[in-house]
Structure 1
Amino acid sequence: MAVSLSQHEVSDLCLGRPPLKWLPESATVGDALSQLRANTVSENCIVVWSCDPAISSPFDYEECVCLGTVCMVDIICFLVREENLARPDQALHSPVSVLLPKVPGLVRLVQPNYSLSKALEILVVEGAEILIVPIGNTRKAMKKPATRREFCCLTREDLVRYFLNSVGLFSPLPACSISELKLIRTDYPSLNHTAPSSKAITALLRHVPVAVTAGGDTLIGEISPEALALCEEAAAPALATLYAGDLLAFLDSNAPTPFISHIRDMCPVALDAWSHDLTLSMLTASSEDSSEASDEEFTAGSPTGPLPPPAPPVLARARRSGSFSTSRGRRAEAVVCRAWSSLVAVMVQALAHRATHVWVCEDEECSLVGVVTFRDILGAFWDHINAPAVA
């Protein structure tokens, strides 16, 4: 097992992948937003370098430092700030450095000949989230001007996919339950469906999903970086003004009239600024097809009050199908499993839904007991590989 990891290099996982987009540190938040919106490939982040974009002379790696990466959720959480909601045009002219993580070591530039064993150590033991790997001929890459350097991005998901493809080498680990392996994390962030969505921002800034519950600990959905990214910057005023239960419906229903009305009531200056400066079609699109009854239902009882939380989507589906492998067709719907689910089953679930985590429920009512993340899964393989040999 360890031999196999040592024989493969991180560059092997970059084969066939498109180069990662990048920006100089002199770029603005608006530049990052434009890059991410135009990104049609699978990568959902861009890397920021300390390079001058006008540089055309050769340089080596030491002369150009990787400062970090920027994802759509970073921009959303930045725009949610009160001063930025009111003047998004000014916010977009802020330097991109305001979006970079303040915690060092989350993004690591590694050499293409690093072994997968070393990559696993960096992601599990050292706590990195993203590895930036030079692609192509290394010697040529070091002589390219800054505007032509190419890199690829590797995440924990890529390592999990590698282990799934090589799962036979790690028997009997993959067949063990996540409960037996003690992978269920109970220190997860959560919000009641009646709580303001803005309380999720602290976790979202760490790229951590937030469970949304009802009736105590019944899981009804999640507020995740991936779900918010699908709405792009339109998610910012919704995240700032809606309750958690309403935000789930917002993410799933493409911003219907009731939510636009509520956002306009709660944050009129912000919405006017956004519609003028950012042309957010999702929030200002014509709502002629929506009935007046929906508006009345939303505002009944309070001119700015939220709708009563809709029937829990995850729970409703679980009751109908009896399945605990829910679809990602709905942006806010959570992927769930049981404590007795095997490690390999959880890996398949997460990868199939492009989720970084799987929530763990204990009964048909989807009572939430914890979450399993990619870091937990990779940690299980790390411990297995480094376990002392049994005589």
Structure 2
Amino acid sequence: MAARFLLHEVSDLCLAKPALRSLSVTNTVADALSALKRLDESYLSVWSCHHSSLKAESSPQEGGKAEDCRCIGRVCMLDIICFLCKPENLSSPATALQSPISVLIPNNLELVRHLEPNASFLEAIDHMLEGVQNLVIRIENRISARKKLSSLDSTLHNNNLGYCWVTQEDVIRNLLNSIGLFSPIAGNPINSLGVIDTNNLLAVYYDDPASSALDLIAESLVDQSSVAIVDTEGKLIGEISPFTLNSCDEGVSAAIATLSAGDLMAYIDCGGPPDELVQLVKERLEEQNLGAAVELLGEESSGLTSWSSFSSSTSSDEEFNSMKSGKHVGYSARLVRRAEAIVCYPWSSLVAVIVQAIAHRVSYVWVVEEDGTLTGVVTFAGILKVFREHLNSLS
């Protein structure tokens, strides 16, 4: 049953998905920043051709041969934040923003890959286990080839074709919808499945400079995980989440460069940064001769976009409690409001962990002991590996 299910076509995951909005490799970092804010997108695709949805009056085929169109990467706000955090860019952010968009795309990683619509779920999982995060799938053209694109339209490529992409979350959601086909592993505790990653924990101490976590933040974006903040005893206090940072604006780069990890948690917390932290960032920028970076904070000095769309119910937390030693143990815990960490326990079931991650729109869940000590992390990639190994055992 499970094996037949995964032979379904990956195009099934594209139903009702909008076509990608795209940038051209010829665009700048400033273009990407403007588009991310204007279009309210978490990620934008970057294409090898010269037309993009930024060019409102261009025809879909202008600027290059249609057959040359390939999606070569993706960009998000966190890519721009990490780029601006570099000292040379903080000293002259206006100049840095004029850099080509290619500086945001890693040369040694293939995070985006084209896949045919008739490919199976199994093929999609195999690509993701190789490190691919976004599969670019051709979809039915939803825009007339004769209609000129507006700045809010999706871009057409390769003879007026539209594309969407499939993510790890899409595949995991689909697996959850048919989780009964994967008995008994779905109900097994995660510490019996080898899904807890204890070797690649990204963590900093509460009082460490946030700048010391910059490389870890960039790594967590690639790994689809997060950076834990722990105390001196190894207990989880909170996190610096790529999801949270990706919902901020470019002003957060100044906070990362000047604050401690703990203060950064407060800076990116719900409702916007406290006035005293904003003032502290400005003072430290001046002390470090980075006064030009003050402009990144904007007139209102707000590092966050609205959080209203990201609020989530805790009802699912209550529905997935674990039993241990005859008592109920809450399956998840919220540790620090928006810099919170979503956690589970070694004895939590795989399906409970999947539900918790999807409910909170994250691709990982921290694993802690009863006293809050951080022991590992479960990621979507690790979960896909477990399902893939289960399928191998059936063949």
- TM-score, length-normalised on structure 1? 0.82
Structure 1 partner of 2:185: 173
For 2:91 and 2:338, the matched residues in 1 are separated by: 27
Q: Deviations over 1:267-288 (max 9, x none)?
A: 1287753454673523499xxx
How far residue 234 of structure 1 moved from its aligned partner, in angstroms, is 1.9
* Other-structure match for 2:125: 120
Distance in 2 (alpha carbons) for counterparts of 1:87 and 1:214: 35
- 2:345 counterpart letter in structure 1: R
Whole-angstrom distance in 1 between the partners of 2:267 and 2:290: 16
The secondary structure found in structure 2 opposite 1:227 is helix
Partner of 1:23, secondary structure, is strand
1:347 alignment partner AA:
I
Q: Name the CA shift for 1:84/1:342 in 2 (closer, same or farther; >3 Å).
A: same
* Separation in structure 2 between the aligned mates of residue 361 and residue 15 of structure 1, nearest angstrom: 37
Measure, in 2, the Cα distance between the counterparts of 1:161 and 1:379. 15
The residue aligned with 2:207 is 194
Deviation digits for residues 323-378 of structure 1, max 9, x if unmatched? 34135993210000000000000000000000110000111x31100000000011
Q: Check if 1:264 corresponds to 2:274.
A: no
Q: How far apart are 1:73 and its partner, in Å?
A: 0.9
**Corresponding residue for residue 26 of structure 1:** 26
Cα distance in 2 for partners of 1:356, 1:60 equals 37
What's the secondary structure of 1:121's corresponding residue?
A: helix
Asked whether the equivalents of residues 275 and 284 of structure 1 are also in contact (C-alpha less than 8 Å), the reply is: no
Query: 3-state DSSP class of the match of 1:194?
Result: coil
Query: What is the total number of aligned residue pairs between the two structures?
Result: 347
What pairs up with 1:114-263 in 2 under 5 angstroms? 114-124=119-129, 126-137=130-141, 149-187=161-199, 188-206=201-219, 207=221, 208-252=225-269, 254-263=272-281
CA distance in 1, matches of 2:85, 2:295: 17
TM superposition shift of 1:148: 5.7
Alignment counterpart, residue 331 of structure 1, candidates 328, 338, 341: 338
In structure 2, the residue matched to 1:10 is 10
* Cα distance in structure 1, aligned partners of 2:249 and 2:266: 16
* Kept after mapping to 2: 8 A contact 1:85/1:270: no
Match of 2:372 among 363, 366, 369: 366
2:246 partner SS: helix
Q: Which amino acid aligns with 1:131?
A: L
Give how far 1:55 is off: 6.8
Task: Specify which structure has the higher proportion of helix.
Answer: 1
| Structure 2: stretches of 5+ with no match in the other structure | 52-57, 146-155, 305-327
State the AA in 2 paired with 1:193. Y
Letter in 1 for 2:28: T
- How far the C-alpha of 1:242 sits from its partner, in A, is 0.8
* Candidates 97, 106, 109, aligned match of 1:104: 109
1:75 aligned to which of 80, 88, 99: 80
Residue 85 (1) aligns with residue 104 (2): no
Q: Decide whether aligned partners of structure 1 residues 137 and 38 sit closer, same or farther in structure 2, where only a CA change above 3 A counts.
A: closer
* C-alpha distance 46-345 of structure 1, shift in aligned 2 (>3 A): same
Return the TM-score normalized by structure 2. Answer: 0.81
C-alpha distance after superposition, 1:212-238 (max 9, x if no partner) = 001321101111111111222121111
Contact 2:68 2:158 in 1 (8 A): no
Offset from partner CA, 1:145-183 (integer Å, 9 cap, x none): 569642212111111101100101111110011100011
The amino acid that maps onto 1:96 is I
On the 8 A contact 2:250/2:303 being kept in 1, the answer is no
The percentage of aligned residue pairs carrying the same residue is 42
Listed as ranges, the gaps of 5+ residues in structure 1 are 286-320
CA spacing shift, 1:278–1:249, aligned 2, 3 Å: closer
